[in-house]
């Protein structure tokens, strides 16, 4: 039976990268999915900034499980050429950081169009990303999210099948709940052969994001099933979204009204970690 390795989006704890690393070490979490460092998105960092981040990771004894990039989170009629240059910079940064996985998305529709009618365009843009990732020796992992092409399990599987396993899946059970999809067994069984790792957030179909085990995402059942299925240990990356953090609106497209209220983002993140550990 495989084991799960805990990672986290520590930018939900603090903007300061040093504070993020202190917190992870305090929680006994040895990995991080890097997204924002000192309030700056990973895609905007220069080479020297990334090298400094790697030095800090090594000093704290923390490894990068993945880069939580914003790639694929633009409209298909946007500046794709510039986006590919951003991708190249992200992949170079990932290699410096020692992160083999890159979280990506599958694009939004142009204004006035429906993304479900743009399968060919979405695949074409993803093909460019996959080819570039191949050059840099990193693995792209598609996250299911609202309003992109791969928002529901069937369209996620279309994308993953198209690339024959070269594109992997970041399975976000909370996002499936918000899309009105049963994450287990329906979504999990359809996608499990492609799952590289999991994003852990819980949600209620009504729209609220809640601590792990308090919603309808069936986190415990999914992780238990995958431990029996996976041949190797795998990451679970905590992305609790319990309180607004730097860049949330830009990344998610909205903020969430939550029945769980916290004094600040540190308290929210701490409760998320504790609830997840209790759950597993």
Q: What is the pLDDT of residues 202-252, one digit of tens each?
A: 999 988 899 999 999 999 999 999 999 999 999 999 999 987 544 444 444
Q: How confident is the model at residue 257 (pLDDT cuts 50, 70, 90)?
A: low
| pTM, two decimal places | 0.94
Q: What is the pLDDT of residues 183-205, one digit of tens each?
A: 999 999 999 999 999 999 999 99
**Beta bridge partners of residue 34, listed in sequence order:** 67
Rounded distance between C-alpha atoms, residue 44 and residue 161, angstroms: 31
- Is the pLDDT at 258 greater than 80? The verdict is no
Q: What is the pLDDT of residues 133-156, one digit of tens each?
A: 999 999 999 999 999 999 999 999
Q: What tokens appear for 131 in the block?
A: 């080819």
> Strand ranges (DSSP E) for 61-164?
63-68, 101-104, 139-143
Rounded distance between C-alpha atoms, residue 179 and residue 187, angstroms: 11
Q: What stretches of 98-242 show up as alpha helix (H) in DSSP?
A: 119-136, 153-162, 173-178, 188-191, 219-229
């Amino acid at each position: 039976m495989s084991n799960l390795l805990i990672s986290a989006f520590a930018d939900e704890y603090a903007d300061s990268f040093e504070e993020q690393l202190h917190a992870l070490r305090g929680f006994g979490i040895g990995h991080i999915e890097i997204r924002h460092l000192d309030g700056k998105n990973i895609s905007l960092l220069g080479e020297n900034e990334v090298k400094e981040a790697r030095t800090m990771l090594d000093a704290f004894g923390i490894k990068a499980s993945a880069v939580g990039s914003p790639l694929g989170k633009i409209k298909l009629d946007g500046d794709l050429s510039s986006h590919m240059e951003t991708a190249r910079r992200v992949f170079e940064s990932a290699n410096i950081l020692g992160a083999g996985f890159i979280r990506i998305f599958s694009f939004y529709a142009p204004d006035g169009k429906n993304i479900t009618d743009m399968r060919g365009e979405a695949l074409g843009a993803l093909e460019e990303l996959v080819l570039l990732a191949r050059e840099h020796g990193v693995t792209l992992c598609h996250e299911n999210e609202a309003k992109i092409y791969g928002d529901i399990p069937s369209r996620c599987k279309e994308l993953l099948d198209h690339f024959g396993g070269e594109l992997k899946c970041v399975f976000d059970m909370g996002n499936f709940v918000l899309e009105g999809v049963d994450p287990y067994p329906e979504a999990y069984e359809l996608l499990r052969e492609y799952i590289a790792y999991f994003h852990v957030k819980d949600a209620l179909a009504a729209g609220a994001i809640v601590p792990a085990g308090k919603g309808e995402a069936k986190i415990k059942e999914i992780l238990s099933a995958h431990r029996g299925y996976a041949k190797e240990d795998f990451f679970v990356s905590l992305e609790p979204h319990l309180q607004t953090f730097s860049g949330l609106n830009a990344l998610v497209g909205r903020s969430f009204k939550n029945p769980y209220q916290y004094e600040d983002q540190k308290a929210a993140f701490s409760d998320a970690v504790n609830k997840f550990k209790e759950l597993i």
